[in-house]
Amino acid sequence: MTSAQATPPEALRNAVIRLAGYSQDGIQSIGAFLAQLAGSTAQDVMTHMTIPSTISGGPSIYQVHLGSGKVLHPGDEADTLVAFYQDSYDNHLKSLRDGGICFYDSDKVEELKMERDIIHIGVPFTSAAIEAIGGSAKDRGKNIFVLGVLCSVYKLDREKLAEIIGRKFRGKPEDILRNAMLAFDAGFAWPVHDIDHMPFAPGENEEANRLSTDGNTMLGLGLIAGGCRFGAGYPITPWTSIMEMLRSELPKYGGMFIQAEDELAAVSIAIGAAYSGHLAITGSSGPGLSLKSEAIGYACMAEIPLIVVNVQRGGPSTGLPTSVEQSDLMQAIYGSHGDAPRVVLAPRDVEDCFHTAIEACRIAREYSTPVIILSDQAIATRIEAFPEPDLEKYWKEPTLDLSERGADFKPYPLDKITRHAPPGSPTSEAKYPVVTGLEHDEWGHPSSNPLNHEAMSGKRREKLIKLANSLPSPDFFGDEQGDLLFVGWGSTYGPIKEATEQLRAAGHKVGSLHLRHIHPLRNGLGDIFHRFTHVLIPEMNDPGIYGNGQLATLLRSVTCNPNIQSLNKIQCITFRVKEIVDGALKTLSL
Amino acid sequence: MSANPTAEKLTKKILKADHPTWCPACGDFAVLASFFNVIQKLQIPHEKIVCVAGIGCSSRFPYFVNTHGIHFIHGRALPLATGISLSRPDLHVFVFGGDGDGYSIGGNHLTHAARKNVNLSYVIMDNYVYGLTKNQTSPTTPIGRKSKTDPRGAIDRPINPMTQLVATGATFVARTHAAQVKHMNEMFERAILHPGFAVVETLSECTMFYPGAFDSGNPRKGGAFDLVDETTQDLTSTSEALKLAEDTSPGKFGVYYETKLPTKNELEWAWVNDEQAKSPDLSGKDLLRKRFAAMR
């Protein structure tokens, strides 16, 4: 243990804590407890985790970025590292900033002698937790012990944290909660003499009723609020937790979610429910979206309202199932045979998962079209805190329209958006429609008439152009014109916004635009791009043979603006703020 | 099966839609006529009938019936129908398709829709050949039969549809012949009245590419139409059904297996009803607010 005198006594505004251990050690729960505490004490939080794709666990980290103000990213480097094993210590010490603190399990880790300015504090997590709980505890409880240590070091709200732990173990056998509290109290009381304790500044996010949860949960709840009641899926990481949640939740709302035998059946069951007049959802991750693409093409052709969630992961093929990537954009927009226009939306953070889901439901309903929601592993699994959505504003009660259709009813009118008559609806002339994937005329009869095919392709295209014309301006932040414009989509929102702030503080004229509607794009983006010397698109995918990432390729083709370039990262991990700042500075120096 | 006293009486004339695009004398015409017969007899409310199909000659069925219909993609008619049946238990769901759609590209779904006992009726028009794509080997084509994909004769062992169907766990399995209209009517009617997954393997000749394929089961062509003897056959025994299924040339016609088990529709809706009974006074909005409260 070094005897450095550490850390100024004034209150902290931000802290990045990295917990490095094995996934079976419950480091995720420490992170989740801290995140929930932040949410309920007006602090902000963003977490980041890596998960081994093995069954029995393996090396894993959970990083928590706590802040008194707004937290936009999980943190470039750690202020505090908690290392449970020698390899956790060896591999993650480099993530600690100079002057940072490393807590390590002195039962398992041998401290390295090094030049760097790091405060080492050895605490016997394993044996201290066993001692606190008693004989048979083995490895259990050391995560809660560590939580106690962190609570004391950062002077966190002990009462509230104890309450959150209590809530987590509610309904479990009594001794589990008792042991957890014994471990927590022992950690809290552990003497950490070598550093001054670092009180956290009070939180400034005073909105009432702040929630803290992950993106998959908010996406699923957004679908419920938006009126989705039926769906089907097949398990695949990292989509699975949405289907698990909907399977248990939907029956409460009068709906159901079916576990299908494969991805093809899942999308087909959802289309069956949608044809029957319900708003239905299916979802998956990368490879599963590929398997569904034939049926998605059908939904475009037959004009079926359908929500398809794709929680992106590293690809191609099985790729990196537990890592983040944004490499399914082209698949989402174009992934089908034939000309099959559909809508693609992307949420930017956990809170936005809820709102994007509601927007997807609205569009699917109003335009009778499939809508793909492109989330990603980072948003899906990370926890953030945000104000509770106002359901008076966003709740949409589902409807099933089985009214009688008149003599003029046509399933595919050329001059209107399709409104299907679900089975069960009588028709005044007793003539019933067939919904079909064959090219068809206005009444749904198969037709190979060349002019009809052109007209019907136009019908399917024009409704999305109508949607594009109605879209609001995308989120704009920073300078309205100047040196460089960032354009982003999905989970890069936070780091891009923070990078924009840093570059502006350094005197650059920088703006940033974050797109929720990826396809169709809102009109007029080209005019905004022209106000900047450079347009830089940070995206987590490969620049490909022609040197541009997937969104950059799309935007270059749409706007013909040669100043659009992408900043690509394909390392299974979200952008650090510094990487975006450095990329921008490099572009600015061109 | 409830009659519909308020609406018009369902007749063949009302049920007819586009004239079928099938080749002259195709066995599927008889299947269509039989379907009209049974619907006319049962008087199901017109707007509650849904005809579902995938891809193939026989899968054109929904266009030829004037009811709600959906023509889907190749092999996925059963999961599509599953979504319709589960989300709308008020409907009567009929699935039509051929041997390629049901036993080949959609083979996986057959097993799962059957074991889940989804409430629907499924008519497989088996012609032992791919007709729409013009004479390729199908999963039921006998060994040695020449086709455009097997110019020296088929070399893969065909599947036995009846053992396959019994093994899926389907709760109603029957076999009929498109040249035997009365028998077909009876099998379709029993399938429709069966609660759960009911499937009827229907030998339906492709007069264009495989004429005479089912003559051995047609007395008018010198064959034998032998019926399952329901006085001696235990219809609830899978082992007896499998024994019956061993002989396919021409084999027996009739119900091979029939049992009553809870349908997936009943089981899923029981869960929905239980959950909703737990908080009858809470609206959906209230429930979601409650859920949010637990996330604070």
End-to-end CA distance of chain A: 48
Do A496 and A509 share a structural domain?
yes
Is residue A53's pLDDT more than 90? no
Q: Give per-residue burial for B254-272: e unless 16+ CB within 10 Å, then b.
A: bbbbbbeeebbbeebbebb
The CB density around residue A175, as the number of other CB atoms within 10 Å, is: 11
Which residues on chain A are in Cβ contact (under 8 Å) with B97? none
Strands (E) in A355-481, as ranges, are 370-376, 383-387, 434-436, 475-478
One-character DSSP codes across B75-88: T-HHHHHHHHHHH-
Are A432 and B69 within 8 A, CB to CB?
yes
Do A482 and A385 share a structural domain?
no
Cross-chain CB nearest to B288 (options A225, A269, A436): A225
Q: Among A9-23, A93-107, A194-208, A321-335, which is the least confidently predicted range? A: A194-208
Determine the Cα–Cα distance for residues A467 and A489; give it in Å rounded to an integer. Answer: 19
Which residues on chain B are in Cβ contact (under 8 Å) with A437? 71-73
CA angle A409, B57, B65 (to 5 degrees): 35
Min distance A122 CA to chain B CA atoms (Å): 34
**What is residue A354's predicted lDDT score, i.e. its pLDDT?**
98
**What is residue A135's predicted lDDT score, i.e. its pLDDT?**
65
Q: Using alpha carbons, list the distances in angstroms from residue A277 to A221, A227, A365.
A: 21, 12, 10
- What is the maximal distance between C-alpha atoms in chain A? 90
Nearby residues of A442 by Cβ (< 8 Å), 6 or more positions away: A410, A411, A412, A413, A414
Min distance A255 CA to chain B CA atoms (Å): 7
- Do B47 and A254 make contact, defined as CB atoms within 8 angstroms? no
- Out of 1.10.3720.10, 3.40.50.300, 3.40.50.970, 3.30.365.10, select the CATH number for domain B12-261: 3.40.50.970
Nearby residues of B41 by Cβ (< 8 Å), 6 or more positions away: B185, B189
Q: What's the one-letter identity of residue A467?
A: L
Do A76 and A90 share a structural domain?
yes
Query: Does residue A205 sit within a domain?
Result: no
The CB density around residue A318, as the number of other CB atoms within 10 Å, is: 11
Are B122 and B78 within 8 A, CB to CB?
yes
> Which of A413, A438, A470 is the last residue before a domain boundary?
A470
Q: Using alpha carbons, list the distances in angstroms from residue A128 to A29, A107, A122, A143, A183.
A: 19, 9, 12, 11, 8
Confidence of residue A192 (pLDDT cuts 50, 70, 90): confident
Candidates A268, A278, A354, A409: best to mutate against B (most CBs of B within 10 A) is A268
- Average pLDDT of A338-353? 97
Determine the Cα–Cα distance for residues B62 and B20; give it in Å rounded to an integer. Answer: 10
Do A427 and A488 share a structural domain?
no
Do A447 and A568 share a structural domain?
no
Query: Does residue A197 sit within a domain?
Result: no
pLDDT single digits (tens) A15-34 = 999 999 998 888 888 989 99
Which residues on chain A are in Cβ contact (under 8 Å) with B79? 232, 260-261, 264-266, 268-269, 272
Do A415 and A359 share a structural domain?
no
Query: Does residue A204 sit within a domain?
Result: no
Which residues on chain A are in Cβ contact (under 8 Å) with B284? 224, 253-254, 395, 397
Nearby residues of A450 by Cβ (< 8 Å), 6 or more positions away: none
- Do B76 and A249 make contact, defined as CB atoms within 8 angstroms? no
| Tokens standing for residue B90 | 């008020």
- Average pLDDT of A95-121? 90
> Which of A470, A486, A502 is the last residue before a domain boundary?
A470
- The residue extents of the domains of chain B are 12-261, 262-296
**What is residue B24's predicted lDDT score, i.e. its pLDDT?**
95
Are A555 and A525 within 8 A, CB to CB?
yes
Nearby residues of A510 by Cβ (< 8 Å), 6 or more positions away: A478, A479, A482, A483, A484, A485, A486, A500, A503, A504, A584
Do A427 and A298 share a structural domain?
no
Do A218 and A178 share a structural domain?
no
Look at the alpha carbons of A308, A312, A313, A315 in this order and tell me if their dihedral is positive or negative.
positive
Do A481 and A463 share a structural domain?
no
Q: What's the one-letter identity of residue A180?
A: A
Do A125 and A20 share a structural domain?
yes
Query: Does residue A202 sit within a domain?
Result: no
- Do B69 and A232 make contact, defined as CB atoms within 8 angstroms? no
Query: Does residue A194 sit within a domain?
Result: no
| Tokens standing for residue A227 | 């009126």
User: Could you report the average pLDDT of every consecutive run of 10 residues in chain B (296 residues)?
Assistant: 57 94 97 98 97 97 97 98 98 98 98 98 98 97 98 98 97 98 98 98 98 96 96 97 93 98 98 96 97 92
Is residue A208's pLDDT more than 90? no
Do A389 and A246 share a structural domain?
yes
Look at the alpha carbons of B242, B243, B244, B250 in this order and tell me if their dihedral is positive or negative.
positive
Which residues on chain B are in Cβ contact (under 8 Å) with A424? 47-48, 68, 88, 90-91
Look at the alpha carbons of A411, A417, A423, A428 in this order and tell me if their dihedral is positive or negative.
negative
| Tokens standing for residue A413 | 């009118």
pLDDT single digits (tens) A540-555 = 999 999 999 999 999 9
| Tokens standing for residue B171 | 């709760």
Query: Does residue A373 sit within a domain?
Result: yes
**What is residue B3's predicted lDDT score, i.e. its pLDDT?**
41
Q: Among A179-188, A358-367, B99-108, which is the least confidently predicted range? A: A179-188
Q: Among A187-196, A409-418, B263-272, which is the least confidently predicted range? A: A187-196
Query: Does residue A484 sit within a domain?
Result: yes
Determine the Cα–Cα distance for residues A320 and A330; give it in Å rounded to an integer. Answer: 18
One-character DSSP codes across A268-311: HHHHHHHHTTS-EEEEE-HHHHHHHHHHHHHHHHHT--EEEEEE
CATH number at A270 reads 3.40.50.970
> What kind and span of H or E run contains B289?
helix B284-293
Nearby residues of A159 by Cβ (< 8 Å), 6 or more positions away: none
SS3 A359: helix
Question: What is the ipTM score, two decimals?
Answer: 0.97
- Do B112 and A260 make contact, defined as CB atoms within 8 angstroms? yes
- Average pLDDT of A81-92? 94
Q: What is the CA radius of gyration of chain A?
A: 26
Query: Does residue A286 sit within a domain?
Result: yes
Q: Among A150-159, A217-226, B121-130, B258-267, which is the least confidently predicted range? A: A150-159
**What is residue A182's predicted lDDT score, i.e. its pLDDT?**
93
Determine the Cα–Cα distance for residues A394 and A227; give it in Å rounded to an integer. Answer: 10
CA angle B92, B96, B97 (to 5 degrees): 155
**What is residue A137's predicted lDDT score, i.e. its pLDDT?**
54
Do A167 and A80 share a structural domain?
yes
The count of domains in chain A is 4
Confidence of residue A7 (pLDDT cuts 50, 70, 90): very low
Beta-sheet strand order (sheet of A434-436):
A434-436, B68-71, B49-53, B92-98, B120-126, B197-203, B172-177, B252-258, B226-227
Q: What are phi and psi of B101, to 5 degrees?
A: -60, -40
DSSP A83: E
- Its domain, for residue A165, covers 14-189
pLDDT single digits (tens) A371-406 = 999 999 999 999 999 999 999 999 999 999 999 999
CATH number at A486 reads 3.40.50.920
